[in-house]
Structure 1
Amino acid sequence: MSMIDDVIALAAAHGPRLSAQSATVNEAGLDYRVVMASDATGQRWVLRIPRRVDVSEGMAAETRVLDLVAPVLAEDGVAVPDWQIRSPELIAYPALPGAPGLTLTDTGEPDWHMDPASPDYAERLGRLLARLHSITPEQAEAAGVEVRTPAQVRQAWQDDIARVSEAFTVLPALTEAWQAWLEDDTCWPEQTVMTHGEIYPAHVLFDEEGTITGVLDWTTARVDDPARDLSAQYGAAGEEMLQATLTAYEQAGGRVHPGLAAQTKHLWDASPIGYALYALTTGADTDLATAAAMLDPEA
């Protein structure tokens, strides 16, 4: 049996009878392998198969996040997954409208279906984030979602940097830059907000006109630094589109503190830290080697 056949059989054990014909596999996610398949009525289903035990353990937390954000984003016509099957080995839900703005080819190359440097996308993203960030820490805490204070956000980065520095050889210039960032009071948030944590076009769904119709993969969502939802936009589209996104964000009610743009850039520059932590979680030789090269490119 192929991997798709195995997943179709797994889904059938939980209820939905899906067809392997026209089923597709998306390997882009670090935490889940995703299979899309149709039932007898033509309804497409999304089947998420956890790659590791630690991913399965986080499912209950993600369910609480989805319950919290779904009605808020729905006010702007943006959908989130409605998990109809949740087990340690499988999550399944009816596919949301729209298509992702970024997928990976069979060889792992990015395949863009939209322009991340489009002013139209910057405006839509800014409005989406303003709506998401309007959820207060108090509302999140009441829903059982993880809440980090500004001090905890900063401490978490300090702890992560220490862990990565202990496990890998890090270029001294990187270590110095990280230390200066940790000590710079101007860029750290005074307030934390409800964040997705991995907002980039692979997790955002669009209709043919470019309207955002849905947001996927809330695995890393929590109350945290608002800049974490802007850093991928800066990385993909640069300074000008970051500013356009922030303008739309502020006009839609988002709070732009003076150091938000600078913090967004710092978080993008700190992406090797996140990848190194991921590599330490998987323990895979290829992941560890990639992380080592990111942290000490001169080695």
Structure 2
Amino acid sequence: MTGDIRALLARHLPDYRVRSVSRLGHGLDNFVYEVNDELLVRRSRVADPQANRQEVARLAAVRELSPLPVPEVVFADDETGTIAYRKLPGTPLNQHRNGNLTPAALAEPLGAFLSAIHGAIPGTMRDLAPLDVYPAPTLLQDAELDYRDVEQHVPEAQRPLVERFLHHDPPDEPPSLRFCHNDLGAEHVLVDPATSTITGIIDWTDAAITDPAHDFALIYRDLGPDVFELTLEHYEFTVTEEDRERILFYARCALIEDLAYGLSTGPRHYADAALTHLPWTFQ
């Protein structure tokens, strides 16, 4: 596969000298490669030319909206479902090991970022992002199926917390939808290891017109209630009790999904993080 990446680079960047190509990882939909410690090349498992063009246009729009850096497209190859970006500085937050990182250092930029993204007029983004209206009852059913597959891996003392959630009624549907990152987990927030400041937001593949509670849910799940509450203080829109209910609901569903993914076909670190974050997500 690295040979295919070299061929794409030669086609689109004929004067660019390729010294190294290495595969960084993969998700459900994509493989990601690093080139010369300068470029990241994302290749879809199944090429969708329309989706590829849409993502390139979406990133251009997001770069105009976001107060935080987002990837800059160097080239796109719609036929193979490939997009190459300039590599942003920083380390994914889930790999950050600097103990100086404080909730305040994350909350203020995240609050400003979400205010800007969620503030986009949904109608202007409809051609750039799909509509995501997956019903809450279906999410809960999916979560229960996933949990039954991995129940034995959850500490026995914490199982009643999860099972109580699974037997609750799902929340009402959101009153309005906004443009969202829609996958704002810690692995997609880059931070400077030296200064512990946010240096970028990556992976906009799942961006959609959807419930903004989805973005806050992953902040709650991955960064905890303290960062979540501080982020709300820097968010310019009102968050109601009904919004909070949906945020917690999505956070719990997403944690169960990550636990199942990390224990089956995905990288193990997803499951490890889910088990670490389970106590505060299901408190």
Residue 222 of structure 1 corresponds to 208
Q: Which of 193, 206, 218 pairs up with 1:232?
A: 218
- CA deviation digits over 1:131-155, x for unaligned, max 9? 11111222222x343235xxx45x2
Give the aligned partner of residue 165 of structure 2.
177
- The residue type equivalent to 1:180 in the other structure is H
Aligned partner letter, 2:30: Y
For 1:189, the equivalent position in structure 2 comes to 174
How many residue pairs are counted as aligned between the two chains? 262
How far apart are the structure 2 equivalents of 1:34 and 1:196?
19
Q: Is the 8 A contact 1:86 1:92 kept in 2?
A: yes
Measure the CA separation in 1 of the matches of 2:7 and 2:238: 47
The verdict on how the C-alpha distance between 1:118 and 1:168 changes in structure 2, with shifts beyond 3 A counting, is closer
Percentage identity across aligned positions? 21
* 1:100 paired to 2:78: no
| Paired AA for residue 11 in structure 1 | L
Moved more, 229-238 or 80-89: 80-89
Task: Name the aligned partner's letter for residue 265 of structure 2.
Answer: D
> Would the alpha carbon gap of residues 233 and 144 (structure 1) be closer, same or farther in structure 2, given more than 3 Å must change?
closer
Do the aligned residues in 2 keep the contact of 1:23 with 1:35 (CA within 8 Å)? yes
Deviation (angstroms), 1:276: 9.3
- The Cα shift of 1:160 comes to 4.3
In structure 2, the partner of 1:145 is 129
The SS at the match of 1:223 is strand
Q: Which amino acid aligns with 1:241?
A: V
| Offset, 1:269 | 0.9
**Under a length normalisation based on structure 1, what TM-score does the superposition of the two structures give?**
0.69
Does the 8 Å contact 1:122/1:242 carry over to 2? yes
The one-letter amino acid paired with 1:37 is: V
* 1:230-275 superposed Cα distances (whole Å, 9 cap, x missing partner): 22222222212211111122xxx23322233332222121026645
Show the 5 A alignment for 1:49-128: 49-50=43-44, 52-53=45-46, 58-73=51-66, 76=67, 78-102=69-93, 111-112=95-96, 118-128=103-113
User: 1:62–1:94: structure 2 CA closer, same or farther, 3 Å change rule?
Assistant: closer
Query: Helix, strand or coil: the match of 1:230?
Result: helix
Specify the alignment match of 2:242 in structure 1: 259
Would you say the 8 A contact 1:46–1:94 is kept in 2?
yes
User: C-alpha separation between the residues in 2 aligned to 1:176 and 1:68?
Assistant: 42
Q: Secondary structure at the match of 2:234?
A: helix
- Kept in 2, the 8 Å contact 1:27–1:34? The answer is yes
Measured in 1, the distance between the counterparts of 2:98 and 2:208 equals 27
* CA contact 1:197–1:220 (8 Å) conserved in 2: yes
Say whether the 8 Å CA contact 1:117–1:237 is kept in structure 2: no
Note closer, same or farther for the CA distance 1:175–1:89 as it changes in structure 2 (3 Å cut). Answer: farther
What residue number does 1:12 align with? 10
Paired amino acid for 2:243: L
Cα displacement (A) at 1:57: 6.4
Q: Give the Cα–Cα distance (whole angstroms) in 2 for the partners of residues 166 and 210 of structure 1.
A: 38
CA contact (8 A) 1:27 1:33 kept: yes
Q: Is the 8 A contact 2:68 2:109 kept in 1?
A: no
Indicate how the Cα distance of structure 1 residues 258 and 58 shifts in structure 2: closer, same or farther if over 3 A, else same: same
Structure 1 unaligned blocks of 5 or more: 103-109, 280-284, 295-299
Please give the alpha-carbon distance, in whole angstroms, between the structure 1 residues aligned to 2:183 and 2:242.
20
Structure 2 CA distance for aligned equivalents of residues 179 and 122 of structure 1: 32
SS state at 1:67 partner: helix
Aligned-CA RMSD value: 3.9
TM-score normalized with structure 2 length: 0.73
Question: In the alignment, which residue of structure 2 is the partner of 1:205?
Answer: 190
C-alpha contact (below 8 Å) 2:186/2:222 kept by paired residues: no
Deviation of 1:199 after TM superposition, in Å, equals: 1.3
